[in-house]
Amino acid sequence: MKKNFKKALQNAFEPPMPLRKNEFLKTIPQPKTSMISFMLTQAEYLPKHVWWSSTLIVCIALFGAYFLKNDVLGIVSTVIPFAAVSVITENIRSDIYMMSELEMAAQFSLKSVVLARMGILGVLHLILLLFLIPLSSFYNVASVLQTGLYLLVPYLLTITIGLWVTRKVRVIESMYVCIGISACISGINFFVQTIFPIVYEEKYLLNWILILIILIILSIRELKKDIRQTEELIWNLL
């Protein structure tokens, strides 16, 4: 009796099939945003510490070039891991402030937003490196190629380990762990420069190139895993 009553109510109050649904949806204006406009919008949402950290590194490099000259490469290669931290923290910022679900409901997917932010930071850091590499090479016996290797290796090492950590450790803790990792890499870099300066000689150039290639492959691999994890999160929330 109860089942029959429920069925009767369902039949009585069943909403009619929508008419001309597709035509109605087409009449709703859809705001169009170009890729350039989207990237510029995301750039506005980058936190101030990202810009300040890059500015601080430039100031340190200029200070070293003016007062310390020959030591500027060692100084810049020691502080460059802290620039890499901004890429990692920006990658998990939505999770830190618990905005992931809200951004998933936005016009652009969370994956697009994260990739856009990291792309902007990549361009910013590329410009930063294009300034730092010639500056450091000018006041050092190392060539431009060697200088680029000495800066890119600690930078990519920080990003690779940081991306791995953000997938394995809880969000809030991972941010502090990544800052600690950058500090450790910076300290190790300073230690190697002081105790084992021989590794920076030209005869070890191929070793540095090999390490850089390995780090590029690993960082791309970790980035793909991070994107895949984001897609799985979106799927689980559907």
Could you report the per-residue pLDDT of 68-101, keeping only the tens digit for each?
Answer: 777 788 888 888 988 888 878 776 665 555 555 4
Query: What is the count of structural domains for the chain?
Result: 1
User: Which two three-digit tokens encode residue 149?
Assistant: 């290797």
In a domain, 156, yes or no: yes
Residue 182 reports pLDDT greater than 60: yes
pLDDT tens-place string over residues 199-211 = 888 888 999 999 9
Q: What is the pLDDT of residue 34?
A: 66
- Which range marks the domain in which residue 192 is found? 35-237
Residue 109 banded pLDDT, cuts 50, 70, 90: low
Distance of CA 199 to the CA centre of its chain: 29
Q: What does pTM read for this prediction? A: 0.75
- Asked whether 122 and 112 are in contact (CB, 8 A), the reply is no
In a domain, 85, yes or no: yes
Q: What is the pLDDT of residue 156?
A: 93
Q: What is the pLDDT of residue 235?
A: 46
In a domain, 19, yes or no: no
